[in-house]
Amino acid sequence: MIEMVNVYKKYPNGIVAANGIDVEIKQGEFVYVVGPSGAGKSTFIKMMYREERPTSGDIFINGINLATLKPSKVPYLRRQIGVVFQDFKLLPRLNVYENIAFALEVIEETPKVIRKRVMDVLELVGLKHKARMFPTELSGGEQQRVSIARSIVNTPKLVIADEPTGNLDPDTSWEIMNIFEEINSRGTTIIMATHNREIVNTIRHRVIAVEGGLITRDEYGGDYGYES
Ligand SMILES: Nc1ncnc2c1ncn2[C@@H]1O[C@H](COP(=O)(O)OP(=O)(O)OP(=O)(O)O)[C@@H](O)[C@H]1O
């Protein structure tokens, strides 16, 4: 489902954040991306949803080559990928229901379909009873649940999460991980950049370590492997 071939990324300031990355990730995998700060983890995953473009090399997502994808087709690609951020990125003026429904309204789903899908994902993340509340009225963990619900409401085959537990306390982080596990068990591929050693060492999955813009380790069931 994801293939990178000799991907190189140099930012305009001269920093090389990807220095010849080759990787293949299959449908249904759960992959942690680990590595020290500044290693190139975010760049690696941002290139998968075309938030950043490689300077050279090819990136295929479900057979679509992002290197040659026309800008007009980028919204189509993004609809196939759910993205979850460390800082949630919810729209403050919209309530929980509206934050999630938004993704479906832009693709002009019918009100009936929207209602059903939003309530289904709210049920999955355990927040049906808070559908009318606003982001500021929610805890960090609840906001992250909303952002996960939003990321899957389009039923994407791939969910990319950049440090989704980075702003959460340990107990809440485990709850959030349980939701990702549930989503993965339904067949959705999960790519997660994380600094959370305990989680990586406890809920074992494939571990891709990035350092200096290179994949330095790629191990199924591997451990976190860093001190911090
Ligand atoms: N938009 C940008 N412009 C210029 N340089 C950038 C940009 N984004 C990232 N970089 C540089 O690229 C390198 C890799 O950054 P990246 O954010 O991918 O690392 P990271 O492993 O995700 O780090 P962290 O764990 O701290 O989030 C860093 O040296 C960073 O300064």
Q: Which of 8, 10, 34, 42 gets mutated to test ligand 1 (max ligand atoms within 8 A of its CB)?
A: 42
Cα–Cα distance between 189 and 141 in angstroms, integer? 22
ipTM of the complex: 0.97
Average pLDDT over residues 148-161: 96
The model's pTM is: 0.95
Say if residue 106's pLDDT is above 90.
no
Q: Note the pLDDT of residue 67.
A: 82
CA-nearest residue for atom 1, ligand 1, is 11
User: Ligand 1: distance of its center to the CA of 26 in Å?
Assistant: 26
Average pLDDT over residues 157-167: 96
SS3 sequence, the chain?
CEEEEEEEEECCCCCEEEEEEEEEECCCCEEEEECCCCCCHHHHHHHHHCCCCCCEEEEEECCEECCCCCHHHHHHHHHCEEEEECCCCCCCCCCHHHHHHHHHHCCCCCHHHHHHHHHHHHHHCCCHHHCCCCHHHCCHHHHHHHHHHHHHCCCCCEEEEECCCCCCCHHHHHHHHHHHHHHHHCCCEEEEECCCHHHHHHCCCEEEEEECCEEEEEECCCCCCCCC
Instruction: Walk me through the domains of the chain, giving residue ranges and CATH numbers.
Output: 27-49+71-219 (3.40.50.300)
User: Ligand 1: distance of its center to the CA of 86 in Å?
Assistant: 15
Say if residue 228's pLDDT is above 60.
no
Q: Is the CB of 35 under 6 A from ligand 1?
A: yes
pLDDT confidence tier of residue 78, bands split at 50, 70 and 90: confident
User: Ligand 1: distance of its center to the CA of 47 in Å?
Assistant: 12
User: Ligand 1: distance of its center to the CA of 109 in Å?
Assistant: 37
Q: Which of 9, 10, 11 gets mutated to test ligand 1 (max ligand atoms within 8 A of its CB)?
A: 11
CA-nearest residue for atom 8, ligand 1, is 43
Nearest atom, ligand 1, residue 213 CA: 14
Q: Note the pLDDT of residue 109.
A: 83
Tokens 């494939």 belong to which residue? 206
Cα–Cα distance between 188 and 190 in angstroms, integer? 6
Say if residue 6's pLDDT is above 80.
yes
